[in-house]
Structure 1
Amino acid sequence: MPRTLLITGASSGIGAATARAAAAEGWNVALLARSKDKLEELAGGIGASALALPCDITKRDELEPAVEQAVTHFGGLDAVFANAGTGVSSPGIETGNPDEWHAMIHLNVLAVLSTAHATLPHLRKTGGQFVVTGSKAGRDHLKGSVYGATKWFVQGFAGNLAEEMREWGGRCTVITPGMVDTPFFDEPKPDKIQPEDVANAVVFALAQPKTAAVREIHIMPND
């Protein structure tokens, strides 16, 4: 029976690339993002193994029904990729925009927590795996980077969650890429990490035997 992977931030970039890569390896994929048109186009290109679930994951009253719909549709949940995230246009602490911080923290921190909270009961049933997108910015100190601070949270959270899930045979992996060529940046970055590179790392982590827990995969551009 095919396993099921739920992906947040699935409509473009790393999320969309991971959906395609996982589906190619035989996974069912439940796709969550706000963009209904992009999700449906992606799901249509993948086929019957994909389910588009448009929702705003920062709103628990949208996230939780989407998770339940995915479980009902596919019959269970074996893995989650908490990939959705955002940055800010105004860097720095003194010069930053607190309204942007609020929106970013809600997505990069609170929505990751909400995604784990909503999916862990289902992952416990399957001995499943939780994967989350961190960043090189969550491993280094970057001058005035509030975005980096949110990814430091993700780094610590992933380790703590890994210890919690270990008690019942589950696993947690954080993927920490450097600069990735995605719509996150205004200009294309063709010489940097590609979304497919990160997708391959996610699929690799999910493919490991139950005797091995890949806690972190750190990816850097080769140029």
Structure 2
Amino acid sequence: MQRFQGKVALITAAAQGIGAAVARRLAAEGAAVVVTDLQEDKLAEVAGEIGEQALPVRVDVTSDDDVRAAVAAAVERYGRLDVVVNNAGGCIVRSAPEDATPEEFHAQLDLTLVGASRCIQAALPQLVEHRGNVVTISSVNGIAAFGNVEYSAAKAGQIAMSVNYAARYGPLGVRFNVVAPGTIRTPNWDGRQDTLDRFATQYPLRRIGEPEDIAAAVAFLASDDASWITGHTLPVEGGILTGPGLFDLTPSGAYKKEYKQQS
């Protein structure tokens, strides 16, 4: 299939994991891909693997200038921009929610939620001109309680933001959708195979997701096959949201605190 022939896609955090898999999938279906990340060496490897269809650009999504420059580079090289895949993010607050500082919370929001907003704002003129679309990579954390409060709040914010953009820009032909992954085997889990094996038992399908699982969902939502779908979140999560396998979130270990009952 060449669903993206003549199209141009910009993917954030594309040096590895989900972002790299999305870039490979869209390129395999004909797209020119602008791959962005802070990890320039790994980004160059991904772009080299894809070939002439790929343009690597160093981007920090917390920088307005970087994001605008990436969109400008896409238009300068290819003459247009049709698809934005907001993949940049990550859990950067590791303390218990009652211990997180306002600065940590703001940093999490700036990377994950405001970063996605920056990309949308910078790309909007092109998306309107070419009736393009945005696919944002959120998380099941934005839908149900899996811990990591600040990360989860930012991911839920991505969903709410996308719904509102979909309503606002639908009349102009621009679509906004979300993919919500469960646990995916990415380099963030390197050295923790035992944890992944334990998590897999909590999923009805009894396996951890692969980056290619998410790339397939993104390719569908970004393509004309989904031309009448906007404002929706597609969970790609091995069935974890069915409920019985939800992780135990009871405070314990390093997160356990003793609270005196107030009389």
Gaps of 5+ in 2: 198-206, 241-263
Quote the residue 1:216 is aligned against. Answer: 233
2:257 is matched with which residue? none
What TM-score, normalized by structure 1, do the two folds share? 0.93
Q: CA deviation at 1:38?
A: 0.9
Map of 1:159 onto structure 2: 163
In the TM superposition, residue 216 of structure 1 has moved relative to its aligned partner by 2.2
Gaps of 5+ in 1: none
**Secondary structure of the residue that 1:157 maps to in structure 2?**
helix
Where does residue 89 of structure 2 map in the other structure? 85
Displacement over 6 Å in runs of 4+: none
SS of 1:167's partner is helix
Q: In the comparison of the two structures, how many residue pairs are matched?
A: 223
Equivalent residues of 1:87, 1:104 under 8 A apart: yes
Larger radius of gyration: 2
- Alignment partner, residue 69 of structure 1: 73
2:49 to 24, 45, 60: 45
Query: Distance in 1 between the 2:65 and 2:235 partners?
Result: 33
The aligned amino acid for 1:204 is F
Distance across 2 between alignment mates of 1:155 and 1:176: 9
Q: Residue 91 of structure 1: CA displacement?
A: 3.8
RMSD (Å) for aligned C-alpha atoms? 1.9
Residue 187 of structure 2 aligns to a residue in which SS? coil
Matches of 1:164 and 1:157, distance apart in 2: 11
CA contact (8 A) 1:2 1:27 kept: yes
Amino acid at match of 1:218: P
State the shift of 1:98 in Å: 4.2
Structure 2 residue 146 is the aligned partner of structure 1 residue 130: no
TM-score using structure 2 length = 0.79
**Cα distance in 1 for residues equivalent to 2:54 and 2:223:** 19
3-state SS of the aligned residue for 2:172?
coil
Counterpart position of 2:261: none
Structure 2: how far apart are the matches of 1:149 and 1:101? 9
Separation in structure 2 between the aligned mates of residue 3 and residue 152 of structure 1, nearest angstrom: 29
